[in-house]
């Protein structure tokens, strides 16, 4: 498969020590060669692969020196895209890196589309689709755990498992085909219902194992949508600041200070939280505050985790009890804050209302109870099982949906076998399972889906 030569800035825009402009394609080295003047006087085309060279970029027409650079040159197929790749390392200023990019575009390269380098790696067979998707997960990872999951997928852990399951199914399908097409061959073992059932049950068990990791994997990939709720002035903004370890929200003794939903990503014991500090939920005549309260109620419906904050130094109110009712059936941790003040709250009543929820007491002013809260959050969703380093985690929503469809299809096949349905009919469901698993790694996938997936990548990746 042949492509034109593409180029893009592969480092974040802004000031820095170094910026990189990357080229990939059959003309990458040729384009760089006509622009690059090595200190040694040697041409890039004559240099061995995977070497780096110091010199200057010069516009061939004006003879103007554009930048002082280090040029890395790598010849395919031993590259990320399996094409020739050139990486021009220049000074990390906005003007300098743009001058380099404009020069290589002027002399033959085309500006890459978002994710086009990774897309080429996929189309050229360097990686499969699940590995390509792991690249963006790696870039977006917000915790060490999330990064480890993405690394495992990028290295092919999920791909190898899917390929093994597809091979198991393929062997069964081939055996069925031989039995149907060549019934006269006595030396070919007949595919019995029991043999087929054993294989199908094995595949179902492996798919179920993957799906059991999907909740944890999805949390690591996307973060827990965590909403802090409570009456005004119970310490919600102090809690956000404490978890974020910086002052993101204004903290005062005046009720209603928080007028809108404040969002912040935090890392709690390896669990990424998309933390939302809401306006205190109460009846109010203030129009702006009322809008904030309505937004608070809306995000509450979409939350994965609720942190319900109560005031240790206030009596339990009807508004507090209404909040318990609002979070019924949701994953909730109840936080009784301000334990440094005299007790007014009825803790026995709070415990009764929190019978199905975790309860933590804190004094955020004195930084007490935060460790217990973090432990409660981590144990609520992972209970320690996430530490298994050899486990294969499924974190991508597309993969989870396809695995659920595959599970349904293999269960249809198992039901058919158990009811005595002819094997050639059961074969249809087995084939469908094989195809669905193939979509995960890109063996059978529409071009429009590929374009959509790679459009989510940043330029230069």
**What's the pLDDT at 355?**
83
Domain shared by 15 and 91, yes or no:
yes
Residue 226 located in a structural domain: yes
Domain shared by 254 and 399, yes or no:
no
**What's the pLDDT at 297?**
61
Residue 66 located in a structural domain: yes
Residue 451 located in a structural domain: no
Where a domain ends, among 126, 153, 168? 126
Domain shared by 206 and 229, yes or no:
no
Supply the CATH number for residue 75's domain: 3.30.1360.120
Supply the CATH number for residue 316's domain: 3.40.50.300
- Buried b / exposed e across 98-124, counting CB within 10 Å, b at 16+? ebbbebbbebbbbebebbbbbbbbbbb
Q: Is residue 271 a contact partner of residue 377, using CB atoms and an 8 Å limit? A: yes
Where a domain ends, among 126, 160, 190? 126
Where a domain ends, among 386, 406, 433? 386
Residue 258 located in a structural domain: yes
Reported as half-sphere exposure (CB side, CA atoms, 13 A), residue 214 has a value of 15
Structure tokens at 109: 């390269």
Domain shared by 231 and 348, yes or no:
yes
Domain shared by 202 and 255, yes or no:
no
Supply the CATH number for residue 184's domain: 1.20.120.430
Q: How many domains is the chain partitioned into structurally?
A: 3
Residue 454 located in a structural domain: no
Q: Is residue 165 a contact partner of residue 203, using CB atoms and an 8 Å limit? A: yes
Domain shared by 174 and 228, yes or no:
no
Structure tokens at 106: 């002027």
**What's the pLDDT at 108?**
92
Domain shared by 110 and 59, yes or no:
yes
**For the chain, how far is it from start to end, CA to CA, in angstroms?**
20
Residues of the chain with pLDDT under 70: 1-2, 143-144, 178-192, 245-263, 277-299, 382-392, 444-450, 452-454, 456-461
Domain shared by 50 and 165, yes or no:
no
Domain shared by 89 and 161, yes or no:
no
Residue 267 located in a structural domain: yes
Residue 460 located in a structural domain: no
Residue 152 located in a structural domain: yes
Domain shared by 10 and 62, yes or no:
yes
| Domain residue limits at 429 | 135-213+393-442
436, 450, 425: which is closest to 166 by C-alpha? 436
**What's the pLDDT at 158?**
85
Domain shared by 53 and 114, yes or no:
yes
Domain shared by 381 and 397, yes or no:
no
3-state SS string for the chain:
CCCCCEEEECCCCCCEEEEEEEEECCCHHHHHHHHEEECCCCCHHHCCCCEEEEEEEECCCCCCEEEEEEEEEECCCCCCCCCCEEEEEEEECHHHHHHHHHHHHHCCCEECCCCHHHHHHHHCCCCCHHHHHHHHHHHHCCCHHHHHHHHHHHCCHHHHHHHHHHHHHHHHHHHHHHHHHCCCCCCCCCCCHHHHHHHHHHHHHHHHHHHHCHHHHHHHHHCEEEEEECCCCCCHHHHHHHHHCCCCCCCCCCCCCCCCCEEEEEEECCEEEEEEECCCCCCCCCHHHHHHHHHHHHHHHCCCEEEEEEECCCCCCHHHHHHHHHCCCCCEEEEEECCCCCCCCCHHHHHHHCCCCEEEECEHHHCECHHHHHHHHHHHHCCCHHHCCCCCCCCCHHHHHHHHHHHHHHHHHHHHHHCCCCHHHHHHHHHHHHHHHHHHHCCCCCHHHHHHHHCCCCCCC
């Amino acid at each position: 498969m042949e492509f034109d030569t593409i180029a893009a800035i592969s480092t974040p825009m802004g000031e820095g020590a170094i910026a990189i402009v990357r080229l990939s394609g059959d003309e990458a080295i040729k384009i760089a060669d006509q622009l690059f003047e090595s200190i040694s006087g040697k041409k890039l085309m004559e240099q061995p692969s995977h070497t780096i060279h110091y010199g200057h970029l010069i516009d061939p027409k004006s003879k103007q020196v554009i930048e002082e650079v280090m040029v890395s040159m790598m010849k395919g197929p031993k590259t990320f895209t399996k094409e020739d790749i050139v990486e021009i390392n220049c000074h990390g200023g906005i003007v300098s890196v743009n001058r380099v990019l404009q020069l290589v575009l002027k002399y033959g390269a085309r500006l890459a589309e978002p994710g086009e380098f990774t897309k080429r790696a996929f189309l050229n067979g360097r990686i499969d689709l699940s590995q390509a998707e792991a690249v963006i997960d790696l870039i977006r990872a917000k915790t060490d755990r999330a990064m480890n999951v993405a690394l495992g997928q990028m290295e092919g852990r999920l791909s190898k498992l899917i390929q093994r399951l597809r091979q198991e199914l393929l062997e069964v399908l081939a055996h069925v085909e031989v039995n149907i097409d060549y019934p006269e061959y006595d030396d070919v073992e007949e595919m019995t219902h029991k043999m087929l059932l054993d294989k199908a049950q094995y595949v179902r068990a492996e798919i179920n194992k993957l799906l059991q990791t999907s909740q944890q994997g999805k949390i690591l990939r996307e973060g827990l949508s965590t909403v802090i709720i409570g009456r005004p002035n119970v310490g919600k903004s102090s809690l956000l600041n404490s978890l974020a370890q910086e002052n993101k929200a204004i903290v005062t003794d005046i009720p209603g200070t928080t007028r809108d939903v404040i969002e912040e990503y935090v890392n709690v014991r390896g669990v990424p939280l998309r933390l939302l500090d809401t306006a205190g939920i109460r009846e109010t005549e203030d129009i702006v505050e009322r809008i904030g309260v309505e937004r608070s109620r809306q995000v509450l419906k979409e939350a994965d985790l609720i942190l319900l904050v109560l005031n240790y130094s206030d009596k339990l109110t009807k508004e507090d009890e209404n909040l318990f009712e609002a979070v019924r059936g949701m994953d909730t941790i109840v936080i009784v804050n301000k334990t440094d003040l005299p007790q007014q709250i009825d803790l026995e009543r709070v415990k009764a209302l929190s019978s199905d929820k975790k309860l933590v007491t804190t004094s955020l002013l004195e930084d007490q109870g935060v460790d217990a809260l973090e432990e409660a959050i981590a144990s609520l969703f992972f209970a320690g099982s996430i530490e298994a380093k050899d486990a294969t985690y499924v974190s991508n929503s597309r993969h989870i949906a396809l695995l659920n469809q595959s599970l349904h299809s293999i269960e249809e096949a198992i039901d058919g076998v158990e009811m005595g349905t002819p094997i050639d009919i059961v074969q249809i469901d087995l084939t469908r399972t094989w195809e669905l698993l193939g979509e995960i790694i890109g063996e059978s996938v529409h071009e429009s889906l590929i374009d959509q997936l790679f459009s989510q990548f940043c330029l230069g990746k």
